[in-house]
């Protein structure tokens, strides 16, 4: 392996070096600083004579005499089932003082696209135990469903609740494939990291988890690698070892900041708000690594978390994410300040794969109708709230008042459940029917008449009297 001492330029996270042999695009590089430190990097651009290298750990300490070694291969991650229970840093080095990892195989972290023809359409309901998700925006295996949050909101609590409670009801009975969590942290604070780790340890989830930690004070460039390590591990566990893998990536906003930093250092033509023009493709190459494959037992389900700068969902990061992922779950500041746990706002939230994952034989026959009706009713109630502020409740018709009450009850009884309550889908739907039954039957125009007959809770004369007393 040839060593070069030919660095010509150092700028931000980038190093340019002259070479006299062809160097492959994306190839790994090691740079030894005069102080004896070894830094790792990757070839970003390769041309005759000059290569641009992005250095994961940052370029501080590198001078023009630093020696550069090209490793002749792209970044690979050693994978094995023994990764379960291990904690790694953002570039895949173990930091938990555990035994040495003996790899089964070394996998390219870039990951090839799954042939759409080989995919299997996701339609297995995952019960998260959270009504606002199960009832209104159902998650299915192989889906990528991000959490759109913002600073100061409890998205981590929700992610942890999902990681703890997620089950597939049928599999519990049949003893299907095992469940594993891959956690990829990008630029989160030590405190947040502790919160996750403590919860994993407390619930014993760590044994079936693989953790990659890039903390806020770790090099930003390393963040571009962390999610790829996490997803490579997830794909290995899912498609080679038959695990059902839930991948939690947090915080995608930090990942995108790192992309922007590299783009700026390379003097690329910036796209919207300075983010690189290829950010859509780049994010797609992460998010699309979720799914199921025909003939393989496992699955990769992704829950990326992102914090929207300024609570603005038209910001490029949530915007591009929303166009790639199969829906989104919104954490709502107003609901949060009302003390609702988890503060999920179902109106802008969406699960695109819901329709195929619910219904008879999957959840319950009335699920889709109930969800649609509750949506419409809550939306109507929400709309009326603005009006109430202007004209007062008395000016509204009886029908309008019913909808206002519905919206209040919906928040208090359906969304509100606490982070430790695990509701089955049956419980979720019966709460739904209790709420819908506060509306007259004729208003339930999205529910099939048959289900109204079966599930509508008639106002019982006796109970009415009891409450009247």
Partner 1 sequence: MSKATDTQSDTDTSGVIESVSGPVVTARDLDARMNDVVYVGEEGLMGEAIEIEGNITTIQVYEETSGVAPGEPVVNTGEPLSVDLGPGILDAIYDGVQRPLDVLETKMGSPFLDRGVDAPGIDLDTKWEFEPEVSEGDIVEPGDVIGVVEETVTIDHKVMVPPDFEGGEVVSIEAGSFDVTEAVAELDNGEEVTMRQEWPVRKPRPSVEKKTPRTPLISGQRILDGLFPIAKGGTAAIPGPFGSGKTVTQHQLAKYADADIIVYVGCGERGNEMTEVIEDFPELEDPKTGNPLMARTSLIANTSNMPVAARESCIYTGITIAEFYRDMGYDVALMADSTSRWAEAMREISSRLEEMPGEEGYPAYLAARLSQFYERAGYFENINGTEGSVSAIGAVSPPGGDFSEPVTQNTLRIVKTFWALDADLAERRHFPSINWNESYSLYREQLDPWFKENVTDDWDEIRQWAIDILDEETELQEIVQLVGKDALPEDQQLTLEVARYLREGYLQQNAFHPVDTFCPPKKTYLILTATKTFHDEAFDALDAGVPVEEVQSVESVPQINRIGVQEDYEAYVETLKEDITEEIRGLY
Site for partner 1 in 347-406 (CB under 8 A): 347-348, 350, 352-353, 355-356, 368, 372, 375-376, 379-380, 386-387, 390-391, 395-397, 400
Q: Which residues of 410-443 are buried (b: 16+ CB within 10 A; e: fewer)?
A: bbeebbbbeeeebbebebbbbbbbebbbbbeeeb
Q: Among residues 375 and 456, whose Cβ is nearest to partner 1?
A: 375
Q: Is 284 in the site for partner 1 (CB under 8 A)?
A: yes
Start-to-end CA distance of the chain, whole Å, equals 88
Answer yes or no whether residue 293 interacts with partner 1 by CB under 8 A.
Answer: yes
What is the C-alpha separation between 201 and 85, in angstroms, rounded?
10
Residue 232 CB, nearest approach to partner 1 (Å): 12
Q: Which is nearer to partner 1, 215 or 441 (CB)?
A: 441
Binders of partner 1 in range 421-460 (CB under 8 A):
442, 445-446
**322-341 residues near partner 1, rule: CB under 8 A:** 322-324, 326-328
> Which of 156, 209, 226, 285 contacts partner 1 by CB under 8 A?
285
Do 304 and 325 form a contact (C-beta atoms < 8 A)? Answer: yes
For the bound state, the minimum distance from the C-beta of residue 349 to partner 1, rounded and expressed in Å, comes to 9
Contact 259, 279 (CB under 8 A): yes
20 binds partner 1 (CB under 8 A): no
Q: Within positions 122 to 161, which residues make up the interface with partner 1, using CB under 8 A?
A: 122, 142-143
C-beta of 237: minimal distance to partner 1 in Å?
15
CA distance 236 to 243: 9
What is the nearest approach in angstroms of partner 1 to the Cβ of residue 82?
23
**How many chain residues interact with partner 1 (CB under 8 A)?**
84
- Of the candidate spans 43-51, 149-157, 177-185, 204-212, the one that interacts with partner 1 by CB under 8 A turns out to be 43-51
Residues with Cβ < 8 Å from 115, sequence gap 6 or more?
Answer: none
Among 30, 32, 45, 257, binds partner 1 (CB under 8 A): 45
By CB under 8 A, name the one of 10, 13, 27, 128 that touches partner 1. Answer: 27
Residues 6+ apart with CB under 8 A from 247: 181, 182, 183, 184, 230, 231, 234, 290, 300, 301, 302, 303
Q: Hey, which residues between 173 and 232 contact partner 1 (CB under 8 A)?
A: none
Which residues in 50-89 contact partner 1 (CB under 8 A)? 73-74
- CB 87 → partner 1: shortest distance, Å? 28
3 state DSSP class of 248: strand
**What is the Cα gyration radius of the chain?**
25
Nearest residue (CB) to partner 1, 129 versus 432: 432
Task: Write the DSSP symbol of residue 60.
Answer: T
Among 92, 146, 187, 291, binds partner 1 (CB under 8 A): 291
Cα separation, 202 vs 446, whole angstroms? 44
The answer to whether 123 and 243 are in contact (CB under 8 A) is: no
Residue 296 tokens read as 């393989």
Cβ proximity to partner 1: between 45 and 96 the closer is 45
Residues 303 and 215: their CA atoms lie apart, in Å, by: 19
């Amino acid at each position: 392996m040839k060593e070069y001492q030919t660095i010509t330029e150092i700028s931000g996270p980038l190093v340019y070096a002259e070479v006299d042999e062809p160097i492959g695009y994306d190839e790994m590089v090691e740079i030894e600083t005069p102080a004896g430190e070894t830094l790792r990097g990757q070839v970003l651009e390769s041309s005759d004579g000059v290569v641009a290298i992005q250095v994961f750990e940052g370029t501080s300490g590198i001078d023009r005499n630093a020696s550069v070694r090209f490793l002749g291969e792209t970044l690979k991650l050693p994978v094995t089932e023994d990764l379960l229970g291990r904690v790694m840093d953002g570039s895949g080095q173990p930091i938990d003082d555990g035994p040495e990892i003996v790899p089964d195989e070394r996998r390219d972290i870039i990951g090839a696209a799954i042939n759409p023809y080989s995919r299997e359409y996701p339609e297995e309901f995952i019960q998260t135990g959270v009504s606002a998700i199960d009832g209104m925006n159902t998650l299915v295996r192989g889906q990528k469903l991000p959490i759109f949050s913002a600073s100061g909101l409890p998205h981590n609590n929700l992610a942890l609740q999902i990681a703890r409670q997620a089950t597939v009801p049928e599999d519990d009975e049949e003893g299907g494939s095992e469940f594993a969590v891959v956690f990829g942290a990008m630029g989160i604070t030590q405190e947040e990291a502790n919160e996750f780790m403590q919860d994993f340890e407390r619930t014993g989830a760590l044994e079936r988890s693989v953790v990659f930690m890039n903390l806020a004070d770790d090099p930003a460039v390393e963040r571009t690698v962390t999610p790829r390590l996490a997803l490579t591990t997830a794909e290995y566990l899912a498609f080679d070892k038959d695990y059902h893998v839930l991948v939690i990536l947090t915080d995608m906003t930090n990942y995108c900041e790192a992309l922007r930093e590299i783009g700026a250092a390379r003097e690329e033509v910036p796209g919207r708000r300075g983010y690189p023009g290829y950010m859509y493709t780049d994010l797609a190459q992460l998010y699309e690594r979720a799914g199921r494959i025909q003939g393989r037992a496992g699955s990769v389900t992704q829950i990326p978390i992102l914090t929207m700068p300024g609570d603005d969902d038209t910001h490029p990061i949530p915007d591009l994410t929303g166009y790639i992922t199969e829906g989104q779950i919104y954490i709502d500041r107003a609901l949060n300040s009302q003390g609702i746990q988890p503060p999920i706002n179902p109106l802008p939230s969406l699960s695109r794969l819901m329709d195929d994952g619910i219904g008879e034989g999957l959840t319950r026959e009335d699920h889709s109708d109930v969800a649609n009706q509750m949506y419409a009713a809550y939306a109507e109630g929400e709309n009326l709230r603005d009006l109430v502020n202007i004209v007062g409740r008395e000016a509204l018709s009886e029908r309008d008042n019913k909808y206002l009450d519905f919206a209040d009850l919906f928040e208090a009884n359906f969304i509100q459940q606490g982070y430790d309550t695990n509701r089955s889908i049956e419980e979720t739907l019966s709460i739904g029917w209790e709420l819908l039954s506060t509306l007259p039957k004729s208003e339930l125009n999205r529910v099939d008449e048959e289900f109204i007959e079966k599930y509508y809770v008639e106002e019982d004369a006796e109970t009415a009297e009891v409450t009247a007393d």
